[in-house]
RNA sequence: GUGGACGUAGCUCAGCUGGUAGAGCUCAGGAUUGUGACUCCUGCGGUCGAGGGUUCGAAUCCCUUCGUCCACCCCA
């Protein structure tokens, strides 16, 4: 045990009982994307480091201390992607699919951040991301929020999450506001804690996020971004809230909601829950109208969000709908050497006839008792038994494992019997 | 990066102020020539996370290190 190799810290294997839940949730997500006519895009896991520095922001925690960065053999600095938006925009610009047109895209896959692991936070984690390009108005903001809302509905989580929303205004308005904020906090610098003092000039808006109880009064008294909004952003936000009202989406405006990535402007939102410990954000997103241009494309408005799959799946496991476990319908036991070839032939025939059938065939021999034990443990509803007697007589024994009488069937009647009992589509 | 708790069989855990490692589950076999889930019996399975120190003697005490969990920070 001493010399075994372990997985990298914060990077976890996902094992069979759990992969079933992942597949279920991923399936629902794909259906959701199709329901809104979004198209899948797949990007590399590795990009030039500069892409993330330029988009996420040089002074963010992600870029400063959380990226997996290494040197390629030719000396280029590469990084494992810490999030998907930057890569998606890069790919879109590189292939011209954002130029002068609308695009609705999604992707799903692993992301990497070198943080201290914690509940709901891992160094390799998975996100599904949605990005909509080329639409200026609040209607698309509302659309992506509706997508998320529908997902909670479909997974039985509607009562477990709530929407918080805010607007950051335009980059220009934010710059003005930022100056007011720095002035305010600088005036009260003696009341700032060490962290906030550190943030004062580097990233002052993050001070508003402080959870330090001693600073709540100071933060409450700070100038509000809402009072410094440019007219267009104000109207955009009002328009979005009106849409959400009209569509029956509940939300809470949270003036202190500031996203950690630099590229956001105007709308930002988070879906949060109380059931995930300290990492309560399941879904986060917003508008990033400047990013496409910043990464070398023609100015293109954009909005999107990302959902953390580990967080989503743990929420579903504890508070959402049951996910199917993927057990076989049927376990075929084979007694004796003479039954092996015959049994596999039978199994192949059943799989031909019943494409939806999940059939596990006994391998590795064993007596009746051992095979019945395996059948039970597999979770199958039925055992099929093929021994020397059955082979000789052209028959198969079907034994219900969860109650009911065992029956002896003609070999060519098995498919129909299973189709009926399991309510499967038959091809024959 | 900081702090707290914890690492003993494949899994869940017990093991007192130091005396040389146990249970349950799982798995294999049997009681039951070809019938699982209940019961009983037998068996397989451990350099006690790793390395060092103290000691006649360390799973137990000390140091270091790796890892897990949780929180801070930050975020999905």
Predicted confidence (pLDDT) per residue in A305-326, tens digit? 999 999 999 999 988 998 888 8
Nucleotides of B under 7 A from a protein CB: 1-3, 10, 26-30, 32-37, 46-47, 49-51, 66-76
The answer to whether the C-beta of A294 is closer than 7 A to strand B is no
Find out whether A205 and A181 touch, Cβ atoms under 8 Å. yes
pLDDT band at A175 (very low <50, low <70, confident <90, very high): confident
Query: Can you tell me the ipTM of this complex?
Result: 0.87
pLDDT band at A189 (very low <50, low <70, confident <90, very high): confident
pLDDT band at A178 (very low <50, low <70, confident <90, very high): confident
Strand B near-CB residues (< 7 Å), A 242-261: 259-261
Rounded distance, CA A292 to CA A298, Å? 7
Domain architecture of chain A: domains with CATH: 16-170+230-319 (3.30.930.10), 330-422 (3.40.50.800)
Protein CA A3 to sugar C1' B49 (Å): 10
Q: Is the pLDDT of residue A167 over 80?
A: yes
Rounded distance, CA A253 to CA A251, Å? 7
Burial grade of A286 (CB within 10 A; 0-12, 13-18, 19 or more): buried
pLDDT band at A121 (very low <50, low <70, confident <90, very high): very high
Q: Reduced to 3 DSSP states, what percent helix, strand and coil does chain A have, rounded to the nearest 5?
A: 45, 20, 35
pLDDT score of A221: 81
Token match 């496409």: residue?
Answer: A292
What is the average pLDDT across A167-176?
A: 89
Express as a percent the part of chain A with pLDDT over 90.
Answer: 71
The answer to whether the C-beta of A121 is closer than 7 A to strand B is yes
The answer to whether the C-beta of A375 is closer than 7 A to strand B is yes
Of A170-174, A259-263, A286-290, A391-395, minimum mean pLDDT range: A259-263
The answer to whether the C-beta of A12 is closer than 7 A to strand B is yes
Rounded distance, CA A94 to CA A91, Å? 5
Strand B near-CB residues (< 7 Å), A 378-407: 383, 385, 387-390, 397, 399, 401-402, 406
Of A182-191, A283-292, A310-319, A374-383, minimum mean pLDDT range: A182-191
Where do the H-state alpha helices sit in A3-104? 16-35, 49-56, 61, 85-94
Tokens of A363: 């391998």
Q: Is the pLDDT of residue A295 over 80?
A: yes
The answer to whether the C-beta of A219 is closer than 7 A to strand B is no
Q: Which nucleotide is nearest to A400 (CA to C1')?
A: B36
pLDDT band at A3 (very low <50, low <70, confident <90, very high): low
Express as a percent the part of chain A with pLDDT over 70.
Answer: 98
Q: Is the pLDDT of residue A362 over 70?
A: yes
Q: Which nucleotide is nearest to A403 (CA to C1')?
A: B37
The answer to whether the C-beta of A408 is closer than 7 A to strand B is no
Find out whether A97 and A62 touch, Cβ atoms under 8 Å. no
* Residue A228, C-beta contacts closer than 8 angstroms, at least 6 positions apart: A169, A173, A174, A176, A177, A180
Tokens of A324: 């199917």
Mean confidence (pLDDT) of chain A: 91
Q: Is the pLDDT of residue A272 over 90?
A: yes
What is the average pLDDT across A280-291?
A: 95
Q: Is the pLDDT of residue A360 over 70?
A: yes
pLDDT score of A337: 87
Q: DSSP 3-state assignment of A334? A: strand
Select from A207, A172, A171, A174 the least CA-distant residue to A189.
Answer: A207
The answer to whether the C-beta of A282 is closer than 7 A to strand B is yes
Q: DSSP 3-state assignment of A19? A: helix
More confident residue, A138 or A262: A138
Rounded distance, CA A110 to CA A108, Å? 7
* Residue A374, C-beta contacts closer than 8 angstroms, at least 6 positions apart: A331, A333, A362, A366
Select from A135, A132, A138, A136 the least CA-distant residue to A241.
Answer: A138
pLDDT score of A1: 39
What is the average pLDDT across A154-165?
A: 96
pLDDT score of A368: 92
Of A1-10, A124-133, A327-336, A366-375, minimum mean pLDDT range: A1-10
């Amino acid at each position: 045990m001493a010399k075994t190799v372990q997985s990298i810290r914060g990077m976890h294997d996902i094992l069979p009982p759990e992969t079933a839940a992942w597949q279920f949730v991923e399936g629902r997500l794909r259906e959701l994307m199709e329901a809104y006519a979004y198209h899948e895009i797949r990007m590399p896991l590795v990009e030039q480091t500069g892409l993330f520095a330029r988009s996420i922001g040089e002074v963010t925690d992600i870029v400063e201390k959380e990226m997996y960065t290494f040197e390629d053999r030719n000396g280029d600095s590469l990084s494992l992607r810490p999030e998907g938006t930057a890569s998606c925009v890069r790919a879109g610009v590189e292939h011209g699919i954002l130029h002068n047109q609308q695009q609705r895209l999604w992707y799903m896959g692993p992301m990497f951040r070198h943080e201290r692991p914690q509940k709901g936070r891992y160094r390799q984690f998975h996100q599904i991301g949605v990005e909509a390009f080329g639409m200026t108005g609040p209607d698309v903001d509302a659309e992506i929020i509706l997508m998320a809302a529908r997902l909670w509905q479909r997974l039985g989580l509607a009562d477990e999450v709530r929407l918080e929303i805010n607007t950051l205004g335009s980059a220009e308005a934010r710059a003005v506001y930022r100056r007011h904020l720095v002035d305010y906090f600088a005036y009260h610098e003696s009341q700032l804690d060490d962290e906030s003092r550190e943030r004062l000039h580097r990233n002052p808006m993050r001070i508003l996020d402080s959870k330090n109880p001693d600073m709540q009064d100071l933060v409450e008294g700070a100038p509000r971004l809402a009072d410094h909004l440019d007219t267009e952003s104000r109207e955009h936000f009002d328009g979005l809230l009106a849409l959400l009202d009209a569509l029956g989406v509940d939300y809470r405006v949270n003036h202190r909601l500031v996203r950690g990535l630099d590229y956001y402007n105007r709308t930002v939102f988070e879906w949060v829950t109380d059931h995930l410990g300290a990492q309560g954000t399941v879904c986060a997103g917003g508008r990033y109208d400047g990013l496409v241009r910043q990464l070398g494309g023609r100015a293109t408005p954009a909005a999107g969000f990302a959902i953390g799959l580990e967080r989503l799946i743990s929420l579903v496991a504890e508070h959402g709908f049951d996910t199917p476990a993927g057990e076989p319908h049927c376990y075929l036991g084979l007694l004796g050497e003479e039954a092996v070839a015959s049994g596999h032939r039978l199994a192949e025939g059943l799989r031909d006839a019943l494409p939806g059938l999940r059939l596990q065939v006994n391998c590795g021999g064993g007596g009746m008792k051992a095979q019945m034990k395996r059948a039970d443990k597999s979770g199958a509803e039925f055992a099929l038994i093929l021994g020397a007697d059955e082979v000789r007589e052209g028959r198969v024994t079907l034994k219900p494992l969860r109650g009911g009488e065992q029956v002896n069937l003609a070999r060519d009647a098995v498919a129909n019997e299973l189709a009926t009992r399991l309510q499967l589509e038959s091809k024959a």
